[in-house]
Amino acid sequence: MPLQVVNSPFNQEQVDLLNRLLPTLSETQQIWLSGYLTALQGAGSVVSAGTNLQAVPVASPVQPIASQEVTILFGSQTGNSQRLAKVLSSKLEEKGLQVTLSSMSNFKPNTIKKVRNLLIVVSTHGEGDPPDNALPFYEFLYSKRAPQLEEMKFAVLSLGDSSYEFFCKTGKDFDQRLAELNATRLTPRTDCDLDYDEPAGEWMENVVSSLTGVLDTPAPAASINMAVENGQSAGQLTYSRTSPFEAEVLENLNLNGRGSSRETRHLELSLEGSNLQYEPGDSLGVYPENNPMLVDTLIETMGWQPEEPVQVNKQGDVRSLRDALLNNYEITVLTKPLMEQAAKLSSANGLGELLESGREQDLRAYMKERDLLDLVQDFSFKGVPAAEFVSILRKMPARLYSIASSSKANPDEVHLTIRTVRYEANGRDRNGVASVQCAERLQAGDKLPVYIHQNPNFKLPASPDTSIIMIGPGTGVAPFRAFVQEREESGTEGKSWLFYGDQHFTTDFLYQIEWQRWLKDGILTRLDVAFSRDTAKKVYVQHRMLEKSKELFRWITEGAHVYVCGDEKHMAHDVHAALAIILEQEGGMSSDEAAAYLADMQQQKRYQRDVY
C-alpha cells in the first residue's frame, strides 16, 4: 500500500522517494532498516539530507546483527523448556529469521563451531542436574573437545524452582561455560521460577530485539502461556495453565487396604465440555487449596482481618485476604528470595542476620520443612500490612500428576494416583497441600482447577508392535496404567513387562485386580513385583530387574523401550545403575560402553524417564 502524505510527517518529495524504495526492499532489508533507524534514535542521531548511511556511527547497544540464522536448543524433562523454545522459534520466524530448533540430545556437538547465534532454553532437574536430553551436550561443552566460540552470540533462558538449593543451576552453567569459551551474550541470562510466563516473555522480547534491532511491545504473559500449552494463538478460547478448567470430581477412593501405613487416593475427574485432550505419558496440572486451618492461624498470628481486600495480580484483581491465602499464594514452602524480601519488611526482626554471607547452610537448615507460619512466629513482623506482606509471596504453583488413564478407555475423564503426604517436623504436623486436600476435603461433586501438561519426553513407541518395559514403584505406576489401557483399547500386539514395588502385598498393591486381569488376558506380558516390608531383607524393583537380567537384556537388545517413573533421588538412580549392570554382565560391556549404550537409548527415545 503506497504511503500517503495526509497525516504523515513527510513532504511530497520524500513520500515519492519512499514509495519508490520500499517496494524494492526484501523482508530482511526492511528489518535491517527498521532496526537501523531505531538504533539511530536510541543514540540521539539524526539522519540529514545527503548523509551516507554507512558513515553514520551507531552507539546503540541494540543493533541488527550480520547473520540471520539462529539455532535454538532446548533441554527439557517435563516439556516446559521445549514448549517455550517453540514459542521463541515462532517469534523469530515471524521476523524473517532462519531458525533451527532442536533438542540438545539431537544436536551434533561437533557442529557448534558453525553456529553464530545460539539460544538455549533449559530446565534444572533434581539436585542441580541437567535434564536427560541435555546431558550429552552439557558434557561436551565441559569437555576438552569444546572449541573456542569467539564468533558466537548466545543467550540463555533457565527454568527452575527457587525452593531448591541449586536453583536454575543448569542454565547458569551453560551461560558461564559459553562465556568461558569466548562467546558473546546477546542479552543477560534470565532465571525463571515456577511462575515463568512474564520473565520468559521479557527475555524473548530482549532476544528478538537483539537479533533484529527492533524492540516490540512485550506480549502479555497469558498469551505467551496459551501458545506454550496448546500450540494455539492467543485469541482462541482454550483452557491452559493460566486459565484452568474446573473439573468435577467423579470418584475419590483410597487404594490402600486397612492397616496400611500409607494412603493413596484414586481420583477420577470429568473433562466433559473442556475440549482438553491428553495422551498417555502426559500430566495433569492441579491448582490446590491451602489448608484452611493453616490460613486462619496465619491471619490470627499476624493480627490481620480475613476480609481485608488485597490485590492478587498485576491486572488489579482483588480478593479477600483469606481467599487469596487459600487459593492464590504459596504458604507452605520457604525460599531464599522470599526470605530476602521478608527481611526488608522489618529491619528489627533479626532475619537479616540469617541471610548474612557465609550462613548459607544455616539458612537452608532453617527453611527445610518450615512454612510461612513458622517464619512469622520466629521473627517479628508486627505491624506489617497484609497487602504488603502477600506481595512478596510466590503464586500458588500447580501440582503435576502423571495421568493414570487413557482417554480412549475413559472418554471425557482423567484419573490420578496421589499419595497423601503427612509428617511431623519442627514440632508441628505437616501436610501435603494437594494430597491432603484430596484425602480430607474433596468430595464427589466438588471441583478442581486443572489443565493438561503435555510431556513429549514420555510417550509410547510410535510402532504398536514395539515391546515396552515399565518400571514404576508406588504412585510411579500411574502412567503405566494409562499405557496398558491405551494398548488394550488399540489392540496393540507389542509385549509389555511391568516391574512394580511397594511396602506390603496385601495392603499396598495399587490396582492389583487390574494388573492381574491384564496379565490373564495377555494385555500385560509379564509382571514382577517387589514388596520391601514383606521379607526380612528389603527387596526393591532394581533387585527384581537383576534377577531377570538375561531376559531383560534380550528384550532390550531386541528393541524394547524402557520407561521409569517415580522418585528421582533414589529409585531412578538405582534402576539406572541396575540397567548398566545388566548391560555389563549380559552384554560383556565395560562400564563406559554400558553408559554409552544407555545414553544412545535415551537419544533414540528408547529409554524415557518421568522422575521427580
pLDDT at 252: 98
Average pLDDT over residues 540-566: 98
Residue 229, pLDDT > 70, answer no
pLDDT tens, 550-560?
999 999 999 99
Cβ neighbours of 510 (radius 10 Å): 24
Residues 6+ apart with CB under 8 A from 315: none
The Cα–Cα gap between 80 and 243 comes to: 17
- Please give the Cα distance from 423 to 429 (Å, whole number): 6
Buried b (16+ CB within 10 A) or exposed e, 426-435: eeeebbbbbb
* pLDDT score recorded for residue 64: 43
* Bridge partners for 468 per DSSP: 496, 561
- Rounded Cα distance between 67 and 82, Å, is 24
Give the separation between CA 551 and CA 39, rounded to whole angstroms: 66
Helix (H, G, I), strand (E, B) or coil at 132: helix
What is the average per-residue pLDDT within 50-70? Answer: 47
pTM value is 0.84
CB neighbour burial string for 107-145, b if at least 16 within 10 angstroms, e if fewer = bebeebeebbbbbbbbbbbbebbbbbbbbbbbebbeeee
**For the segment 362-385, what is each residue's pLDDT rounded down to a tens digit?**
999 999 999 999 999 999 898 899
Q: How confident is the model at residue 214 (pLDDT cuts 50, 70, 90)?
A: low
Determine the 3-state secondary structure of 357 from DSSP: coil
The string of pLDDT tens digits covering residues 90-129 is: 999 999 999 999 999 999 999 999 999 999 999 998 788 9
Residue pair 125/457 in contact (Cβ under 8 Å)? The answer is: no
Give me the chain's average pLDDT, please: 89
Place of cell 516391574: 499
Instruction: State percent of the chain over pLDDT 70.
Output: 85
Residue 98, beta-bridge partner list:
69
Q: Is the distance from CB of 222 to CB of 177 less than 8 angstroms? A: no
pLDDT at 375: 96
Concatenated DSSP letters for 19-72?
Answer: HHHGGG--HHHHHHHHHHHHHHHHHT----TT--GGGS----S----S--EEEE
Listing DSSP states for 236-263 in one string gives S----SSS-EEEEEEEEEE-SPTT-S--
E strand segments, 190-326: 190-192, 245-254, 264-270, 283-286, 309-311, 318-320
pLDDT tens-digit profile of 436-472?
999 999 999 999 999 999 999 999 999 999 999 999 9
Is the pLDDT at 60 greater than 60, yes or no? no
- Which pLDDT band, with edges at 50, 70 and 90, does 59 fall under? very low
Sign for the CA dihedral angle at 588, 590, 591, 597 comes to negative
Give the residues across from 264 on adjacent strands. 419
Average pLDDT over residues 533-554: 97
Task: For strands 153-159 and 184-185, give the pairing.
Answer: parallel
> Looking at residues 230-239, what average pLDDT do you find?
53
**pLDDT 10s digits, 160-201:** 999 988 999 999 999 999 999 999 999 999 999 999 999 999
Range name among 124-138, 145-159, 192-206, 227-241 with the lowest pLDDT average: 227-241
- What b-and-e string marks burial along 572-585, b requiring 16 or more CB atoms within 10 Å of the CB? bebbbebbbbbbbe
Q: Which pLDDT value is given to residue 569? A: 84
CA-nearest of 300, 339, 338, 346 to 322 is 300
AA letter at 82: Q
Q: Which residue has the higher pLDDT, 62 or 173?
A: 173
User: What integer pLDDT is reported at residue 54 of this predicted model?
Assistant: 38
Q: What is the CA radius of gyration of the chain?
A: 28
Per-residue pLDDT band for 395 (boundaries 50, 70, 90) equals very high
Determine contact, residues 519/493, Cβ cutoff 8 Å: no
Q: What are the tens digits of pLDDT across the range 284-325?
A: 999 999 999 999 999 999 999 999 999 998 888 999 999 999
**pLDDT at residue 78, rounded to an integer:** 87
